[in-house]
Structure 1
Amino acid sequence: MNFRHLKYFVATAETGQVRRAATALSISQSSVTGAIRELEAELGTALFQRSARGMEMTDAGREFLASAHEILEKLDEATKLTRRHSAVSGVITLATTYTVIGYFLPYHLDRLAQLHPGLEIRLHELNRESIEEGLLSNRFDIAVLLTSNLTNPDLESETLLRSTRRLWVANNHPFQRRGKASFAEIAREDYIMLTVDEAAHTAMKYWSMTGHQPRVKLRTSSVEAVRSMVANGQGITILSDMVYRPWSLEGKRIGTVPTDLDIPSMDIGLAWRRGLEFNRPLAIMHDYFRQAFASPQAPYSGLRSSGA
């Protein structure tokens, strides 16, 4: 195992496709594929499931991703010791939502601080409606949020990451043993509904297209409560990979299961007032996120899926 294996693995995990990872790394697709196969052979486990939709991480892959991030981050810190600090300075007023600040943003804020120590980022956590209003009234310069929630045509956005949603079940649940579940079967189980960041609204949108309704046992704004309820066999849920962890706070295992129907992804990205001219600090932040994620998606152009 070497740093090349880890770098190629992380790029594939974050982009969800070998092609996009290869583009981001400016290498051939065969190089990425070969590195992942070598890594899986050395670890003795599959890190991805190959499908028509791309490369979907297994439970082992999601666990290994955290370690790979930590190793590469330490290497990055070591190499920065010999680099000059950026001369860019200025203030950015950044708004974000609960899910994004909890599961996505801190790592990138730390990297920005290391790369550009003269850049001051003033952070505000708010709901999506308040962020939209703040961007339009110039109270905030830019936002990092669930772009799949955006509805205002006066805002521009750029999606950086699409996080796949899956069914979460307790370890040894019949769905996990079988390796799949239909929405008709899921509808007969107790369902734990997350409500934060419009997750419940989103869930009902895609449930409405299945011809079934979830049998909601509990509505909660706490992701940890959802995790504990599922791990203890008190219900099941559908949430994104970004908030997934294989263990509850009690140390009980949580598994994921594919469904018979495609579920819209949860999309994370940047948003700003339409027509805004980026100053130097904003341009630096925008360029950082573009370089951190391969092939950013097209600007917002209509109502899409949302929530965790």
Structure 2
Amino acid sequence: MGFSLRQLRYFVATAELGQISQAAVDLSISQSAVTTAIKDLEQIVGVGLFTRTPHGMDLTAAGRQFLSHAYDILKKVDEATHLNFVSSEVEGTLSVAATYTVIGYFLPMHIERLRRLFPKLNIQLFEQNRESIEEGLLANRYDISVLLTSNILNPQLVTETVVGSARRLWVPAQHPLLQRDEVGLREVSEEPYIMLTVDEAAHSSLKYWSMSSYQPRVMLRTTSVEAVRSMVANGLGVAILSDMVHRPWSLEGRRIETINLKDHVPAMDIGLAWRANSTFTPAMQAFRGYFQQAFGLPGTNG
């Protein structure tokens, strides 16, 4: 008996998040469904893929090897699903600007796919902050950009959100807040807080904090996501950041857990932006069409 794509997706989610409960939340299914899928998958492949510990699910050596194959399989399936759009014969040069967070945690995989789908398309990437991207789009230095669309307010630019990444509370393993039935901004305000500042993250977070009666007790402001990860994992504070930049382990090998907050915290929206009234070139259409297909957005004319 072979395994299913569903079992592979459940396995990958558990491997990435390190806990069946977190995988179930991320997949919007029951914990029992994830547990059953993993047990069935282990029976099919004939080896244990995880070591069960009090703190979560750790991959075995066989599990790490299987994860690599699972990524390859799911990648091929995804590519096969999203091949039928703009002709692969599109050619030319496309100048794409992207912000730090997007280019570090979102864009590389999609650029690699685009280059394979459109081998004659020369994509030139530029990392810039939002202000420089806005100015560059209006000055025609960049054709299109990929950035946090919620930060764009310039009426001369058009934005199109392609995906929203949920923001959750990051805490170290065995943190007392993990034992609570509900956690909100009030509880977070009582903890030392690590404030990420890159890509206007501090400005975005203060927007939702300002809507509450509480304020974060900031003990460090940093532009480094890895600094936040290490500080949280080592028990020096907590942070609210998006799933897109979350990894369950710090560089020191210490675990980071996530908690869904009961108070409304907006997702981090990632998408495209271009100059209003732009005439879309075939290269721009190919780029935009890829993201519309990849994320199931309705196709519209540029």
The equivalent position to 1:92 in structure 2, one of 85, 91, 94, is: 94
Which residues of 2 match residues 162-201 of structure 1 at below 5 A? Answer: 162-201=164-203
Deviation at 1:211, TM superposition (A): 1.0
The TM-score normalised by the length of structure 1 is 0.75
**2:287, 2:195 → 1: CA distance?**
34
Partner SS state of residue 119, structure 2: coil
In structure 2, what is the equivalent of residue 207 of structure 1? 209
Q: Which deviations, in whole Å up to 9, do the C-alpha atoms of 1:180-229 show, x marking residues without a partner?
A: 32212211110000000000111111111111111100000000000000
**1:219, 1:275 → 2: CA distance?**
39
Q: Which deviations, in whole Å up to 9, do the C-alpha atoms of 1:98-149 show, x marking residues without a partner?
A: 0000000000000001111111001000000100111111110000100011
Structure 1 unaligned blocks of 5 or more: 11-31, 46-58, 299-308
Counterpart of 2:284, as a letter, is L
Contact 1:159 1:297 in 2 (8 A): no
Change (3 A) 1:279 1:241: same
Q: Which deviations, in whole Å up to 9, do the C-alpha atoms of 1:73-98 show, x marking residues without a partner?
A: 25678999xxxx92221100000000
**2:93, 2:34 → 1: CA distance?**
42
In structure 1, what is the equivalent of residue 118 of structure 2? 116
Contact 1:230 1:237 in 2 (8 A): yes
**1:156, 1:9 → 2: CA distance?**
38
Partner SS state of residue 195, structure 2: strand
Contact 1:87 1:116 in 2 (8 A): yes
Partner SS state of residue 175, structure 1: helix
Partner SS state of residue 197, structure 1: helix
**1:177, 1:33 → 2: CA distance?**
21
Change (3 A) 1:161 1:217: same
**1:42, 1:4 → 2: CA distance?**
8
Structure 2 unaligned blocks of 5 or more: 13-26, 41-55, 58-63
Q: Which deviations, in whole Å up to 9, do the C-alpha atoms of 1:247-301 show, x marking residues without a partner?
A: 1000100001122211011000010001112111111111111000023699xxx
**2:124, 2:134 → 1: CA distance?**
17
Contact 1:180 1:257 in 2 (8 A): no
The question of 1:42 aligning with 2:44 is answered no
Of 274-283 and 102-111, deviating more is 274-283
Q: Percent identity?
A: 55
C-alpha RMSD of matched pairs (Å):
3.4
In structure 1, what is the equivalent of residue 138 of structure 2? 136
Counterpart of 2:155, as a letter, is P
Q: Which has the higher contact order (CA 8 A, sep 6+)?
A: 1
Counterpart of 1:162, as a letter, is G
